[in-house]
Amino acid sequence: MFIAYYFKKRNKYLYKKDYYDYFIPALVCKLIGGIGVCIIYSFYYTEGGDVSNYFLSAKTMVNILYSGKFELFFEMLNFYNINIGQLSYEYFNYGGLYFSTTDMYALFTVALTVPLCLLGCSTFVPTTIILSSLSFVGLWKLYELFVYHFPHLKKQFAIAIFFMPSVFFWGSSILKDTYTLSCIGFFTYGIFKFFILKNRKAKYLILLILSSLIILLIKPYILFALLPGTIIWLNFAKVERIQNNLLKTLVIPLAMVSIIIILTISYNILGQYLGEYSLDNILNKAVKTQQDLVRGQYGTNSYDIGAYEPTLAGISSKIPAALNMALFRPFIWDARNPVMVLSGLENLFMLLFTIYIVIRVKITTLIKSLFSNPLLIFSFLFAIFFAFSVGLTTSNYGALVRLKIPCMPFYLISLFILFDLNKVRFMRK
């Protein structure tokens, strides 16, 4: 908190960044969320869960490091060549591995948690606090990006990014979602600095590459959701700089065709390296996951959007249901525990705000507003793509509340920007 206060004082009074008023409250919210998850997994989900498993697995590796077994430690970090049968006796003397050795995404998350666990002296809450504080930086960079474009909406963006209960709660603990949410912020900030502002400093390129790699090694499908909006953002940012309206009109169709070609090539290239998340496998995976993903520690809070075939036509028929599930469910009457009640209230706000925007803005005006700002296109497309993928492949409210958090800030930000772009017409009415 002393470090945070120093950053706030320096940036607010020296660099005149008045939006730093939200820096301390946002960080406090993040820390409360992280500690809250520690409490929930210690006293509510007493049979354990992902949060506990990530910490205990990282703690085991730190114990090996403390004992001076450096060879064993580095051998355990080499997840792709691990032979758990040979190491089982010695390894489990120090704790245990709480994930399958074939789950590379979970094991990479454990590897990322090891240095934080080392700094936290192998204790649950301090390790969480360190992760919450470091991951906060990525979200703050995302906040600065949007405030740069719409400085008068600094309060609204702070609500969307920092103060939504499910986001600061599930996005602050030792989970994949905490790492990926922060990396999405770094990724977006890196794109903006390096490609949009053309600030060709090495640190922005490194930031962009590292955040992309971490997302790829934890949740590859997030890159699928980021790609369409990012490519459109970059292309439309270039088109926006064209002063001649006739030339701009001629360039837009060419830009759309190039976007489709780039997306197709990108998905094909990524598919060679993503294994089960490749485009060839993702349709079958969606059907299988939707039927099988029922987590025991979340109780019986299941839902079903209906059966569908693993084809583009079959999945397309579920777009409305999947978006409704990801963006607005669970409803308040779906809640079965206090955590779900908070999520239900949050979703009720999102639903009512969405209805308000749709009613007050004509469809033509809505489409025109969406294409009036490249950053708005990126934000909205990422939210919709991500929400659709999560709503389609999840069958449990407990998992849904946690998995959907990356799209919520972007969706709410899109609503705030749409409202602002049409505010003058609203007031006139």
Query: Per the structure block, which two tokens stand in for 109?
Result: 């998350």
Look at the block and give the residue holding tokens 């995976």.
285
What pLDDT sits at residue 407? 94
* Digit-coded pLDDT (tens) for 192-244: 999 999 898 999 999 999 999 999 889 888 888 898 888 888 887 777 766 66
pLDDT score, position 297: 42
Is residue 91 within 8 A of residue 72, CB to CB? The reply is yes
Cα–Cα dist 86/71, whole Å? 14
Q: Are 180 and 214 in contact (CB under 8 A)?
A: yes
* Structure tokens given for 230: 């990012």
Which residues pair with residue 396 across a beta bridge? 302
Cα separation of 233 and 244, whole Å?
Answer: 20
Would you state the pLDDT for residue 277?
Answer: 52
Hey, what are 293's tokens?
């993903």
Residues 202-210: contacts with CB under 8 Å, at least 24 apart: 210/186
What is the rounded distance in angstroms from the CA atom of residue 210 to the CA atom of residue 187? 9
Alpha carbon of residue 386 to chain centroid? 9
Contact criterion met (CB below 8 Å) for 308 and 284 = no
Q: From 61, 77, 52, 293, select the one nearest 173 (Cα to Cα).
A: 52
For 93-192, where are the alpha helices, taking DSSP H only? 104-119, 124-149, 154-162, 165-170, 176-191
In this predicted model, what pLDDT tens digit does every residue of 16-60 receive, in sequence order?
889 999 999 999 999 999 999 999 888 887 777 889 999 998 998
How deeply is 203 buried, as exposed, middle or buried, from its count of CB atoms within 10 A (0-12, 13-18, 19+)? Answer: exposed
The CA–CA distances, whole Å, from 207 to 99, 393, 397 equal 29, 30, 34
Amino acid sitting at position 274: L
Token pair 């994930």 in the structure block, residue: 99
The series of mean pLDDT values per 10 residues for the chain, 429 residues long, is 92 88 96 94 82 91 85 69 50 70 84 94 96 96 96 95 93 94 96 92 94 91 86 80 62 65 65 55 55 46 67 76 88 78 89 88 74 86 89 79 92 92 67
Side-chain-facing half-sphere of 151: CA atoms under 13 Å: 6
The predicted model scores a pTM of 0.89
